[in-house]
């Protein structure tokens, strides 16, 4: 068994996504990352720390960890000094990020890179509204080339920033693979 987030090799592999994104957009101000078990987040934080130290990216770049309300293991872990702490309640609407407790290895590493991190909490309403906008595509929705519905894990990253596209900052958003069941999609649409 290889953990999808509590394994150093997996974390390093997940960090390559941030490496590619930041080499393409080194002037980014914010990089939004959906959080479940913490592997993608830690891999991203490690890359950001190294690229900042080497002057490759914007020195003010922040990694924004995006969590769904209730799935707050990351926040609780940070409050407990890096000790992995279970979520208050687990909302499985975002299946790909529905992890009750952040991994031990990510928890240790996240604390090391705290200076590069901010946390954004989004609600089911935020997610449902963004999902609806993306699904209907009755308007220009940056990036214009987006042609398919983002997964729920990725869409929740957009939920809070949807009304802030006029901001002059450069924002990058990581989305994760299509791993949402038709039942969860229907649940989200019914919630809207």
Residue 48: per-residue pLDDT: 98
156 and 140 Cβ atoms separated by less than 8 Å:
no
Tokens of 163: 């009304």
Which parts of the chain fold into alpha helices (H)?
8-24, 39-53, 73-79, 104-112, 124-136, 152-161, 182-191
44 and 186 Cβ atoms separated by less than 8 Å:
no
- The pTM of this model reads 0.82
Integer angstrom CA distances of residue 112 from 106, 117, 150, 192: 10, 10, 31, 38
CA dist 79 and 85 (Å) reads: 9
CA dist 22 and 44 (Å) reads: 10
The separation between the first and the last C-alpha atoms of the chain, rounded to the nearest angstrom, is 38
Residue in the structure block whose two tokens are 């490496």? 19
- Tell how strand 117-122 and strand 62-68 pair up: parallel
* Nearest C-alpha neighbor of 89 from the set 98, 81, 80: 98
Tokens of 119: 């946390």
Residue in the structure block whose two tokens are 């449902």? 128
Residue 91: per-residue pLDDT: 82
pLDDT digits (tens), the chain, 192 positions: 999 999 999 999 999 999 999 999 999 999 988 898 999 999 999 999 999 999 999 999 999 998 888 899 999 999 999 999 999 998 877 777 788 999 999 999 998 999 999 998 888 887 777 767 666 655 554 443 343 444 554 555 665 565 554 566 787 877 765 555 667 667 767 766
């Amino acid at each position: 068994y290889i953990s999808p987030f509590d394994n150093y090799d997996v974390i390093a592999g997940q960090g390559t996504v941030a490496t590619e994104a930041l080499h393409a957009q080194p002037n980014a101000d914010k990089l939004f990352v959906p959080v479940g078990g913490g592997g993608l987040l830690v891999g991203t934080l490690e890359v950001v720390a190294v690229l900042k130290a080497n002057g490759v990216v914007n020195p003010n770049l922040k990694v924004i960890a995006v969590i769904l309300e209730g799935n707050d293991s990351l926040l609780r872990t940070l409050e407990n000094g890096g000790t992995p702490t279970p979520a208050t309640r687990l909302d499985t609407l975002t299946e790909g990020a529905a992890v009750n407790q952040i991994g031990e290895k990510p928890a240790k590493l996240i604390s090391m890179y705290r200076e590069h991190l901010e946390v954004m909490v989004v609600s089911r309403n935020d997610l449902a509204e963004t999902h609806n906008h993306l699904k209907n595509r009755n308007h220009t929705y940056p990036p214009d080339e987006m042609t398919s519905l983002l997964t729920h894990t990725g869409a929740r990253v957009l939920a809070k920033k949807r009304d802030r596209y006029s901001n002059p900052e450069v924002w990058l958003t990581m989305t994760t693979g299509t791993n949402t069941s038709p039942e969860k999609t229907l649940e989200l649409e019914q919630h809207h």
